[in-house]
Amino acid sequence: MSDFIMKDLPYDERPYEKLYEKGAASLSDTELLAIVIKSGSSGKNAMDLSRLLLSDDELGKGLNGLSQAGIQQIMKHKGIGKVKAIQIKACLELANRLKPKHEKKVKLTTPDQIAYHMMPKAQGLNKEKCWVLCFDVRMNLIKEVTISIGTLDSAIVHPRDIFTEVIKSCAHSFIVIHNHPSGDVNPSSNDITLTKRLKKAGLLLGMELRDHIIISEENYFSFLSKSML
């Protein structure tokens, strides 16, 4: 299927025409993203590429997952080059900046609160994924960032990548979270080693690692709660 086939869709199903005549609110996420993508390639039209991006398990599915993905991750899809990936990220960032500046800051102070805040993001994931939550001095959440997406039983995480995001956000402290698709949230030897390295490096940099939490769809393990931090 090539890009010109988009024009063969029924008139009232074409994203551009639909937005013009019915307004942006009438379009689905897939249709809006297709407008941003503009044109397809490699046998797929813009709607096809949009569906693929929004259903990608590695990106976390949906606009929320896409907003957390890096440009290189988005470019892994055939038909999405550097320019398209940048356009997608720019639009998502504009949407993020539209959020009211006065909205109440998210405060996550206990392992329970943090785990249940993050567990929905583990739903349906068949690969390990690692996030870092950056906090200000009052434990208000500044930023949540996806650090890496690994395999079924491991997430390749380098402390450098975590501290890059923590430093960029001017955070006072941070919490690392990753999922175990198997459902067993007990830490591996690699998880324990990583936690020790992050704790030590954080002390040197003046950025405290407050916890490392392992989540599944229904359970979690907190290094802090288990006095392993």
Say if CB 147 and CB 157 are below 8 A apart: yes
129-135 and 173-179 strand pairing: antiparallel
Residue span(s) of the chain under CATH 3.40.140.10 come to: 111-222
Which pLDDT does position 151 carry in this prediction? 64
Which pLDDT does position 99 carry in this prediction? 65
- What's the per-residue H, E or C state across the chain? CCHHHHHHCCHHHCHHHHHHHHCHHHCCHHHHHHHHHCCCECCECHHHHHHHHHCCHHHCCHHHHHHHCCHHHHCCCCCCCHHHHHHHHHHHHHHHHCCCCCCCCCECCCHHHHHHHHHHHHCCCCCCEEEEEEECCCCEEEEEEEEEECCCCCCCCCHHHHHHHHHHCCCCEEEEEEECCCCCCCCCHHHHHHHHHHHHHHHHHCCEEEEEEEECCCCEEECCCCCCC
Contacts of 192 (CB under 8 A, 6+ apart): 228
Which pLDDT does position 104 carry in this prediction? 59
Which pLDDT does position 39 carry in this prediction? 79
Looking at the DSSP bridge assignments, the partners of residue 141 are 135
**How far is the C-alpha of 59 from the C-alpha of 54, rounded, in Å?**
8
Which pLDDT does position 1 carry in this prediction? 38
**How far is the C-alpha of 192 from the C-alpha of 223, rounded, in Å?**
9
Which pLDDT does position 223 carry in this prediction? 98
135 half-sphere exposure, CB direction, 13 A CA radius? 20
Tokens 């583990």 sit at which residue?
122
Instruction: Tell me which residue of 107, 96, 198 sits closest to 157, measured CA to CA.
Output: 198
Query: Between 3.60.20.40, 1.10.3720.10, 3.30.750.24, 3.40.140.10, what CATH number should domain 111-222 receive?
Result: 3.40.140.10
Say if CB 1 and CB 45 are below 8 A apart: yes
For residue 121, CA distances in Å to 31, 129, 165 come to 24, 9, 19
Instruction: Tell me which residue of 197, 189, 228, 188 sits closest to 211, measured CA to CA.
Output: 228
pLDDT by position in tens, the chain (length 229): 344 455 666 666 788 888 888 888 888 888 899 899 887 776 788 888 888 888 887 776 678 778 878 888 888 888 888 999 999 999 988 887 776 555 556 778 899 999 999 998 888 788 898 999 999 988 899 889 888 876 666 667 889 999 999 998 899 999 999 999 999 999 999 999 999 999 999 999 999 999 999 999 889 999 999 999 9
